Amino acid sequence: MRVGGSLKAITLGCSIALLAGCETSAPPPPMIRPAAFVPLGLNAPYLYGDVVGGKKSRAAKMRSAKIRPLGPGAAPAYMAGLTTELRRQTAGIGLDVLQVGNAIVVRIPAELTFDAGSSAVKPQFDATLHEIARTVKTRSQTFVDVFAHTDTTGTPQVNQALSDKRAAAVATYLASHGVPKARIASKGLGETAPLYNPETSEEQKAANRRVEIRLVPYTG
């Protein structure tokens, strides 16, 4: 009986130790999105406009890269599957996968994007983009538009240049992780498309500083 009791005690002790080990290696909690981050800005004209650079020009690049367009009527199911996959792949990271018209917009908050005044991809953002790229590269029948935004700190000219660099940095990252360049275009919007206008708090400024990746079905 004493031997059995000792074995039980040892087994229990090992189980507790294993659980403690799991707890110490758990990933950090996700970033908290700013209040009302999801519903804001979904009616912005740029999200419903033509793809960056124009669909005709972009489609020509897709054809040159031998990427076949979606067949008639196939786009809704294709995009629904992509939405589900992106949400599963990025669960817990702290970003939003939104449906806007027939497109998908992946909206990434400031905490995961760039340091203030910088266009260098942060380590946290690197991991997020890697997960997005894994899915986007397998769904080749979509145009990929990258938009970058700033808050109103600084001059409009400086903010425009900074957002251009940030959008280009994200586009370059996606291309370097397997997404064909023929699918990608980028555009900085500076401070012209804020979620909050005017900005009345640091939280609202943080919400305005964001990156969005828009996926539009390629139908020829």
Domain ranges of the chain: 31-217
3-state secondary structure of 218: coil
From residue 150, alpha-carbon distances to 91, 167, 182, 188, 209 in Å are: 25, 11, 26, 9, 4
In angstroms, rounded to a whole number, what is the distance separating the alpha carbons of residues 79 and 88? Answer: 14
Where residue 110 falls (left for φ over 0; alpha for ψ -120 to 50; beta otherwise) is alpha
* Domain 31-217 CATH class label: alpha beta
Q: State the pLDDT confidence band at 6, using cuts at 50, 70 and 90.
A: very low
The answer to whether residue 54 scores a pLDDT higher than 90 is yes
Q: Residue 24 — pLDDT band, cuts 50, 70, 90?
A: very low
Q: Look at 206 and 219; give whichever has higher pLDDT.
A: 219
- pTM, whole model, 2 decimals? 0.81
CA–CA separation, 119 and 191 (whole Å): 15
